[in-house]
Structure 1
Amino acid sequence: MSLSKTIGFISGVNECVNLFQWARSAISSLHTRWSGTQDQKLQDEVLQLQSGLQRLKDTLPAMYDLIDRAERRSHEDCVAKLLPNLKDAVYNADDLLDEFRWYVQKVALEGNAASQSPFLEFFDCVVQGRFNKVNDIIERLNNVSSELEKLGLREVPQRFDKSLRPETSSFPSDREIYGRDNELEKVMELLGVPKKYTGVHSKRKRGSNDASTSTSISNQGSVPILPIVGIGGVGKTTLAQHICNHLRVKSHFNLVIWICVSDDFDVKRLTKEAIESSSGKQAKTDHLDSIQHVLRENVNNKRILIILDDVWDDALKENGQCWKKFCSPLANVCHGSMMLITTRSSKVSNALGTLEPFTVNCLENDIFWDFFKLCAFGSNSSNNDPELECIGRSILPKLKGSPLAAKTLGRLLRMDHHTTHWKNVQKSELWELKQEETDILPALQLSYMYLPLHLKRCFSFCAVYPKDYNFEKDSLCEIWVAEGFVEPEGDIPILDTSKKYFDDLVSRSFFQKVYGTYVIHDLMHDMAQLVSKHDCFIIKDTGDFQKVPHNVRHLMILDSEKFDCSNLLSLCKHTKLRTILCNKSLWHKTLASVMDHWCTELWQIRVFSCAFLKEIPKSIGNLKHLRYLQISGSCHLNSIPLQFCRLYNLQCFNALECVVESLPCDFDRLINLRRYKSQGFVYDRMGQLHLGTHWEHEVRLMKNFNQFYGDLKLFNLGALSKDLAAEIKLNRKRYIGSLTLQWCLWISQEHNEMEVFQVLHPPTSLRSLKLMYYPGESLPCWFQQQNACNEIPGVIADNNNGCISVFSSLTDLDISDCDKLSNLNQFLQELCIEDCPDLVSIGRANAITKRKTVSLSKFDYIVFHEYKFIFLTGRRIWLAKVVNVDVIVNLWIDVM
């Protein structure tokens, strides 16, 4: 079973094994502090803690599965009351383990079995501190799950309840279809229905609309498929119903078949329904082969229109084999037959459709107003109460042109035509209004219920953002990772997995792309707020501070001049907060203490974002869970406190507009840091480190950035002095995989390039080195591989003492545009040299030939070029535009 966070929890327990072993060892090493009885008691407490966490590890996967099932029955009052309690208990368990894992990292980075300080902190805070509540959490989880089991949650099928998703038929509920005349005509045109009603079944040749125009899993070469796509409640089914009953459609097709699919794509059930719809008779057998033969006979040599209403991703199961199996009896229908499917999912549309999908959008304003008046007043006349009409027009924007939303609000308004009632509806958020199971938000909630658990967590979190918020994909995906919503998938970078989650939600219409960013439809946002009303909250004005849910986990604070220090400090009572997104500037001196208080009281914070900060307080070291820190505005941070280096879980520090003067000396303890952004200094662990042009500032940041991982590029080295180059301490950055050093030919060199290059010696674990525009004549001493001393491979020794670097991992060297370079004595697996016309010597060169064809028995690679070739035994060298090399030594070679 693949469940969000569960993998992280289990791996965390496994990692803790080492910590438990360390704790028991520490107890033994410090036994002189206690008597034998106390020593044994400590050992027992550590073992009990280990046992308790193991029980949590065994329990939690089932708890997440129970949450998933409970959300499918959250329309039931009893389940709806217990669901927040279950979530709260599970989140508490997750927070508990996450804090424990922080101690695992602390011990690995700071302590060992002989050290008293880490153990005493571990003992005080963990064994005798809040971790003695492990059993309380387990007991609460058992109690809540037991109550839900009594309600039958264990037996909940993974299908929509019929009360939530009533079966549709071909008969429309509304006699008229408002504002869809153009869409109706367009769809009938796509189905090949003639514009003129003939009264008889017309015959026509198979046209372009009959052919498959995409590579899908559908029945290619058989019935063409037109998908109708749109969000829930927009009118897809209504449009399909009116098409089904249109006289021109009935005249054109011999047979019209209607099937309500929903989320259960059962081939036998759907085949039986197709038989009933086509013949009016029930299938007499349950044998698949038999009923498929019956269906084939019913549709054989007929021009049919088959409408599959409400198709979900379940139709794609078994790699599309179920869909192909359902379509197989339709192979012998007449040319001109068509299939129409309605779906909320563009994933379904792209996979099944053979024609371009037809998207149903919301109604235009004027038409929508007429429809809304009909729903709210019972008529669309102009004789309605003018004051109520004015209120109705102010309500209209929140419905976003959705016919089902108009029906929902119209029903609520029509219950009472008093101004007070209408104003109350006007002031309320849509998600706060009580709705029937077939109203707009329950209808949209079906889309949420159908999501796998990991996507539910990701989308429901978005309720913490206001409506019309422009989401940037990369930023949101980073936050999802920080929140723990993304499951690791083998060696795939976890951010790539998070982006895949985002793309899945886009394909299911939860996000819509607008001018390079993404937005959530207002009605979908209302639905998100409905399903996460206990977890997410947005503070818009001062009155909202009193409305914050007791166990809120994610909080957005919009900017307002009315918010003062006391308002913001009142949030300290919400100690379970995991997210604070504060758009209010904390720069002003009256608010300077807010951040310090939050860091002191709100220890569970994983994601913190603010507009402006005057400084980062020392108390930030308390945030053991913190993974994502963002300062979006332009600030000048003179220093980052040393306590910042205790944020062992920190993954992303984004302060792109901020000038950070220096990083603390223990900054390399942030071993999980994948992204760092400040003005002129951007680090991406999955990519590269990009530097600006102000070397002094950048060197102050680089010298303590030893956890750098990936590809490092240093440009404009001509402007770098020897002293500054030494401060970078490049040899300490042992995780560098690829290093690029580039000088600028068009800028005069201000320093001795050889001296600068000499102090830029990289770590011995380096795998790839690229030199560009180096103006020197020779390479530094550390570059040469000699036997001047017997140092262990991979250790850098002092050149002044006659020892040199041994690059045991270096396999790739690329040298380009180094005009003055005159000699190179290297022995590598791969060497690329370009545009170095004065090069006259290459060590260990074995052969040079101008012949076009060469046969070798001792060499790994042959590289052909218009100039000359050099081959080294068991190695490869590629030379381009190297014309002065004329040394041939000691080679056994056949030249044909």
Structure 2
Amino acid sequence: MADSFLFIIAEGVLEKLGSLALREFFLAWGLETEVETIREILGAIQAVLLEAEQQRPHNHAIEFWLGKLQDVLYDAEDVVDEFECEALRRKVRRFFSSSNPLAFRFRMGHKLKKIRETVDEIVALKSKFGLTERIFDRHVIHRKKEMTHSFVDACNVIGREQARDNIIEMLVQFVDGENVSVIPIVGIGGLGKTTLAKLVYNDQRVISNFEMKLWVCVSDVFELEKVIIKILNSASPCQRYMDLDIDHKIVITTRSKRVAEIMGTVSAHNLSLLPHQDCLSLFFKCACRGQQEKQNPNLKRIGEEIVRKCKGVPLAVITLGSLLYSVTDEREWEFIRDNEIWKLEQKEDDILPALRLSYEHLPSYLKRCFVYCSIFPKDYEFTELQLVYLWMANGLIESSNENQELEDVGMRYFKELCSRCFFEDFSEGARGIVNCKMHDLMHDLALSISRNECSVVMTSTQQIPKSVRHIFFPYPKSLSDQDLPTSLQIPQTVRTISFLNRTRGWICSERFIKTCCLRFPYLRVLDLAFLEFQILPKRIGDLKHLKYLSLYGNCLINRLPNSICKLQSLQVLILTLCYKLQELPKDIQHMINLRWLTITTKQKYLPTGGIGCLKALRFLFISWCDNLEYLFEDMQGLKKLRSLAITYCRSLKSLPQSIKCLTALDTLRIDACKNLDFTMEEGEDNQCLTQFSLQKLVLIDLPKLAEFPEWLIRGSTNSLKVMRIGECDNLRELPRCLQNMSSLSELQIIGCPQLNNDPI
């Protein structure tokens, strides 16, 4: 099979070692011979990897050999990253005057020699296994055009109308009941249980009969009491319902008949396989957008044969239909129909062959990105921006075109995976960023491929394999030992340490943070969201590979060490809801690679010569800064800033003139700034004319906004697509120029009682 994770890693390492920029760097340091030798040997190993992976389950010696190979591949990646770190350090040489170039060359030469020797050992071992070299011809289906969203939509479901009506009828019967009513929907993975629940949830009959609706996802670890509490807490997050009885009506979906028996108060609705004719309609709706009658009749025949192999499972039908979207080559359809994967023995809880097929037909650059998504626990909701920057932090996104933004490449990856049904449950968050999660079967698939890349830590006695590169603590409050992370035997080469929890209040020992800085020099991601500790150690500056650092929701920390500014590789710094943070580090201008910055601070003003010097910054979110009266005046330095959000800064008085000079700005959101006056004097020179072209403008809860600031949209006549205005009690009129904005596709106005004109 062509889903060898090691093959993909090897391919990525070879590309990095062969990149033009790094080859020039190696040449300058006199290390090009060592690097070229490593590339040649890795190429030879790659040729036998696929056969080795096939023999892996039956041969412990090959298992050991592949483990050593995986380690050396990651070591090689670490060396490449270290060269990149040194290049960044040289851009701010005066700040790091202690850097010794001769010592660096000697150290790196020694590391490359050690890698070459290890690779030589691995090559010598492979001959003992009788492995033969293969030329790997990856079969990838190329689309004619890129889809921008997943086709899975509750409004376009086929064949589940009767099931929906039956469940709604049962729900309505219980409206006046006094007891808890739980209706389980039971079925194997991929049948569409969640999609059916969405149909019920969004049906007008349910909306009219129930005052409140809640949608809650729960993990595989099933405890009835915790599920009920989670539902109630969703209704009112500020309260804690620990001892209350409930009178809700509840619909649950589960693969487990046992869970249905425990929770259900009525007979479970056993979801049946989708009838063949409905499967056909669904398949061609995905593959041809309902135009199957205009298609090649041979494609229709082949499509019918593919659908039969899906055996009535809608997810399999949708996945393969989406995979073949806009593909008109009969050979591509036949390749799917005749693939060997259909012959594998299939157990009830196994991953669907259709999903493996969809994965195998991903381009190599998408495969590793998809597998990395297994880092998230099941049902974990993440944002598209978070995912893209996690990919970037782990070197999974590269662009050969200097003019192409890595964020745009990452978003293209994300949209392509969405179009193939790898993600689901999309919603728009507060800043307009898309939230979603992985389908649980897709999550199973990613885990099966990653082979111990990730470890989710649940107990202090848990054994962590040496091959693990990503460590996660999803439920820290369930861990009895607050120093648990320091007591575990975590491999030194780990790249991610993350607390993927969404509840604050877990006190983390400062000893653990120090341990991270001292013991794990190759960290790329350190996500400490909602942990509470007072001091971030000075040694944080030693994590030169670190690209993603989150202190989101830390309510205790009041100061950051200036050594944090040594993190030249850092791309993401998240300081949102750090309410006690007195100020930003004074040398923040040296964080030259920072691309996404979110801050909460107690400062009254943000000084010039700080954030305004971050030329790489793309996203800047300033929120919950209650004391902030003035922003930094040198915004004109942010030539690449694309999105600016200023929210819940109640003392903010004005915006700087230099905001008009943000030439790359396409999204601006200003929300709940009670004292913000948009009045701005027009300058005498052209520099003060608005230079950005917005695509999206959101203005919410701004009581001092009386006259619409036309300077905000002056340069956006041909670009503005979305404008939302809400809760602006004193806004009297909208600008007349809105009538001339042909690009405007969405204008939303809510809660503006003084408006007296309608320019559209």
Tell me whether the two structures share a fold, i.e. TM-score over 0.5: yes
In structure 1, the partner of 2:71 is: 88
In structure 1, the partner of 2:471 is: 555
How far is 1:553 from its partner? 0.7
2:347 maps to which of 405, 408, 413:
405
In structure 1, the partner of 2:131 is: 152
In structure 2, the partner of 1:186 is: 275
Q: Deviations over 1:433-474 (max 9, x none)?
A: xxxxxx758996665555443333223323333333334333
8 Å CA contact 1:84, 1:534 repeated in 2: no
Matched residue type, 1:644: I
Asked if residue 569 in structure 1 is aligned to residue 511 in structure 2, the reply is no
Q: Distance in 1 between matches of 2:688 and 2:505?
A: 51
Q: Distance in 2 between matches of 1:591 and 1:630?
A: 16
How far is 1:644 from its partner? 0.8
8 Å CA contact 2:48, 2:132 repeated in 1: yes
Asked if residue 699 in structure 1 is aligned to residue 617 in structure 2, the reply is no
Q: Deviations over 1:664-687 (max 9, x none)?
A: 23212222211111238xxxxxxx
1:628 maps to which of 538, 548, 555:
548
Q: Distance in 2 between matches of 1:712 and 1:237?
A: 43
1:405 counterpart SS class:
coil
Q: Distance in 2 between matches of 1:775 and 1:313?
A: 50
8 Å CA contact 2:636, 2:658 repeated in 1: no
Matched residue type, 1:669: H
How far is 1:236 from its partner? 4.0
How far is 1:344 from its partner? 13
How far is 1:535 from its partner? 1.9
Matched residue type, 1:707: L
Asked if residue 499 in structure 1 is aligned to residue 411 in structure 2, the reply is yes
Asked if residue 612 in structure 1 is aligned to residue 531 in structure 2, the reply is yes
In structure 1, the partner of 2:497 is: 580
In structure 2, the partner of 1:513 is: 425
How far is 1:595 from its partner? 0.4
Greater alpha carbon shift after TM alignment, 457-466 vs 637-646: 457-466
Q: Deviations over 1:494-538 (max 9, x none)?
A: 223223333333444443436675444445434433333332111
Q: Distance in 2 between matches of 1:737 and 1:676?
A: 11
2:118 maps to which of 110, 135, 140:
140
Q: How many residues are paired up?
A: 537
Asked if residue 123 in structure 1 is aligned to residue 102 in structure 2, the reply is yes
Q: Distance in 2 between matches of 1:566 and 1:182?
A: 45
In structure 2, the partner of 1:426 is: none
- Check 1:699–1:535 CA distance in 2 against 1; reply closer, same or farther (3 A cut): same
Q: Distance in 2 between matches of 1:217 and 1:674?
A: 48
In structure 2, the partner of 1:735 is: 639
2:600 maps to which of 679, 686, 697:
679
Gaps spanning 5+ residues in structure 2: where?
A: 1-6, 140-186, 192-269, 429-434, 669-675, 695-704, 718-736, 741-760
Aligned pairs for 1:836-875 within 5 A: none
Aligned pairs for 1:420-819 within 5 A: 448-488=359-399, 490=401, 491-513=403-425, 517-544=435-462, 547-558=463-474, 559-564=476-481, 567-571=484-488, 574-583=491-500, 591-610=509-528, 611-614=530-533, 615-659=535-579, 660-679=581-600, 696-699=603-606, 703-708=610-615, 728-730=632-634, 733=637, 735=639, 760=657, 779-780=682-683, 783-784=684-685
In structure 1, the partner of 2:744 is: none
8 Å CA contact 1:63, 1:90 repeated in 2: no
8 Å CA contact 1:773, 1:818 repeated in 2: no
8 Å CA contact 2:572, 2:596 repeated in 1: yes
1:104 maps to which of 80, 87, 92:
87
- Check 1:720–1:709 CA distance in 2 against 1; reply closer, same or farther (3 A cut): farther
How far is 1:575 from its partner? 0.7
Q: Distance in 2 between matches of 1:633 and 1:748?
A: 21
How far is 1:603 from its partner? 0.5
Q: Distance in 2 between matches of 1:148 and 1:775?
A: 72
Q: Deviations over 1:171-220 (max 9, x none)?
A: xxxxxxx999997893258879xxxxxxxxxxxxxxx99x9863579834
Q: Distance in 2 between matches of 1:344 and 1:701?
A: 63
Q: Deviations over 1:810-843 (max 9, x none)?
A: 97899xx999x9xxxxxxx9999xxxxxxxxxxx
8 Å CA contact 1:489, 1:497 repeated in 2: no
Q: Deviations over 1:475-503 (max 9, x none)?
A: 22221121112232534322232233333
Q: Distance in 2 between matches of 1:189 and 1:813?
A: 46
Asked if residue 10 in structure 1 is aligned to residue 18 in structure 2, the reply is yes
Aligned pairs for 1:205-220 within 5 A: 214-215=290-291, 219-220=295-296
- Check 1:709–1:96 CA distance in 2 against 1; reply closer, same or farther (3 A cut): closer
How far is 1:617 from its partner? 1.8
8 Å CA contact 1:5, 1:486 repeated in 2: no
8 Å CA contact 2:457, 2:472 repeated in 1: yes
- Check 1:494–1:324 CA distance in 2 against 1; reply closer, same or farther (3 A cut): closer
Q: Distance in 2 between matches of 1:315 and 1:701?
A: 53
Matched residue type, 1:186: P
Q: Distance in 2 between matches of 1:636 and 1:91?
A: 36
- Check 1:191–1:812 CA distance in 2 against 1; reply closer, same or farther (3 A cut): closer
Q: Deviations over 1:559-618 (max 9, x none)?
A: 145443553213465110001112589987771211012111101000111231423221
Q: Deviations over 1:668-709 (max 9, x none)?
A: 2222211111238xxxxxxxxxxxxx9x54525984442155
8 Å CA contact 2:662, 2:691 repeated in 1: no
Matched residue type, 1:612: L
Q: Distance in 1 between matches of 2:384 and 2:16?
A: 23
In structure 2, the partner of 1:51 is: 33
Larger radius of gyration: 1
Q: Distance in 2 between matches of 1:116 and 1:713?
A: 30
1:497 counterpart SS class:
helix
8 Å CA contact 2:635, 2:662 repeated in 1: no
Q: Distance in 2 between matches of 1:701 and 1:617?
A: 26
Q: Distance in 2 between matches of 1:533 and 1:483?
A: 17
8 Å CA contact 1:542, 1:562 repeated in 2: yes
Q: Deviations over 1:103-147 (max 9, x none)?
A: 1211221159xx9732x2x433x3343641211212222332454
Q: Distance in 2 between matches of 1:81 and 1:185?
A: 44
8 Å CA contact 1:586, 1:594 repeated in 2: no
How far is 1:222 from its partner? 7.1
Matched residue type, 1:631: L
How far is 1:82 from its partner? 2.5
% of aligned pairs identical?
20
Q: Distance in 1 between matches of 2:74 and 2:414?
A: 23
Gaps spanning 5+ residues in structure 1: where?
A: 22-45, 161-177, 193-207, 241-261, 263-307, 328-339, 346-401, 409-438, 681-693, 786-806, 822-828, 833-862, 867-896
How far is 1:624 from its partner? 0.9
Q: Deviations over 1:792-811 (max 9, x none)?
A: xxxxxxxxxxxxxxx69997
- Check 1:737–1:450 CA distance in 2 against 1; reply closer, same or farther (3 A cut): closer
8 Å CA contact 1:667, 1:705 repeated in 2: no
8 Å CA contact 1:536, 1:552 repeated in 2: yes
- Check 1:505–1:732 CA distance in 2 against 1; reply closer, same or farther (3 A cut): closer
8 Å CA contact 1:663, 1:700 repeated in 2: no
Q: Deviations over 1:619-669 (max 9, x none)?
A: 111111111112333425322211111111111112322234322232122
Matched residue type, 2:91: A
2:347 counterpart SS class:
helix
8 Å CA contact 1:5, 1:484 repeated in 2: no
Q: Distance in 2 between matches of 1:137 and 1:749?
A: 55
In structure 2, the partner of 1:840 is: none
Matched residue type, 1:536: C
Matched residue type, 2:594: L
